[in-house]
Amino acid sequence: MKHLGLEDKVVLVTGGNRGIGAAIVSLLEELGTQVAYTYRSEPNVESGALAIQADVTDPAAMAAAAETAEEKLGPIYGVVANAGMTRDNFFPKLAIDDWDAVIETNLKGIYNTLIPVIPKMYERREGSVICISSISGERGNIGQTNYAASKAGAIGLTKSLALEAARYGVRANAVAPGFIETEMTKAIPDKVKEKITAEIPFRRFGKPEEVAWAAVFLLSPIASSYVTGTVLQVNGAHHT
């Protein structure tokens, strides 16, 4: 029987209490992975994974989260930097607080998540990092200058990290989901949703589980051992 090589590996997922993050946590658990996830508000009571309260905008909390995960589960092999938020508005109306909040969470949050873990991965000569970007970061989106900038930034960070990390046997990849059915897209008005759906060749939004499989592929030291610095699009052919 073939396997993905994630059995008993330790993976840390940020924002793992709901949406795409929760789907990644759940799939990893089914694969026998030791999973720790961070949440900001409420943990997912249905998950058996190690839940750690930590805001990704707080560097000390993220350092402590990585330490707790390693103490309780063992050396972290994989990280999925998934936590993210939107504060949409047309650019002229975009308040500086909304700009800052989105960049702090979606981009600096990745830095805060990775900085305590990457040096240890280098020492151990293994590791796989996944940053959850977005279709908005690749092609832009109306009302999302802040969000698109953060998600394009996540791609630049990932590609640069992949180049630096290669010599240590550590990989870094991004996943760029299209429109996925979660709380984040629930806020889109029905009329706009219909318009977006009509533009998606698959004629539907994706499911969190469909993004989870992409993340798991990129985490796997067997399935994606020679894949690094890429952006895996999960978007029902909703390309640029």
Residues that bind ligand NDP (CB under 6 A): 14-15, 17-21, 38-41, 55-57, 82-85, 105, 132, 134, 177, 179-180, 182-185
Residue 138 DSSP SS3: helix
Please name the residues in contact with 97: beta carbons below 8 A apart, sequence gap of 6 or more: none
Q: How far is the CB of 2 from ligand NDP (least distance, A)?
A: 29
Nearer to ligand NDP (CB atom), residue 127 or residue 137? 137
Q: How far is the CB of 206 from ligand NDP (least distance, A)?
A: 7
* Alpha-carbon torsion angle 190, 191, 192, 198, nearest 10: 100
Q: How far is the CB of 226 from ligand NDP (least distance, A)?
A: 25
Residue 120: closest CA among 71, 159, 51: 71
At 234, which helix (H) or strand (E)?
strand 231-234
Nearer to ligand NDP (CB atom), residue 10 or residue 22? 22
Nearer to ligand NDP (CB atom), residue 46 or residue 183? 183
Active site residues: 147
E strands, 7-149, in order: 10-14, 34-39, 50-53, 76-81, 127-132
Nearer to ligand NDP (CB atom), residue 196 or residue 227? 196
Place of tokens 């909390």: 61
Q: How far is the CB of 173 from ligand NDP (least distance, A)?
A: 15
Nearer to ligand NDP (CB atom), residue 134 or residue 224? 134
Are 201 and 236 a contacting pair, CB within 8 Å? yes
List the structure tokens of 51.
């839940």
**What are the beta bridge partners of residue 127?**
170
SS3 content of the chain, % helix, strand, coil (to 5): 45, 15, 35
Read off the amino acid at residue 8.
D
Q: How far is the CB of 7 from ligand NDP (least distance, A)?
A: 25
At 184, which helix (H) or strand (E)?
helix 183-186
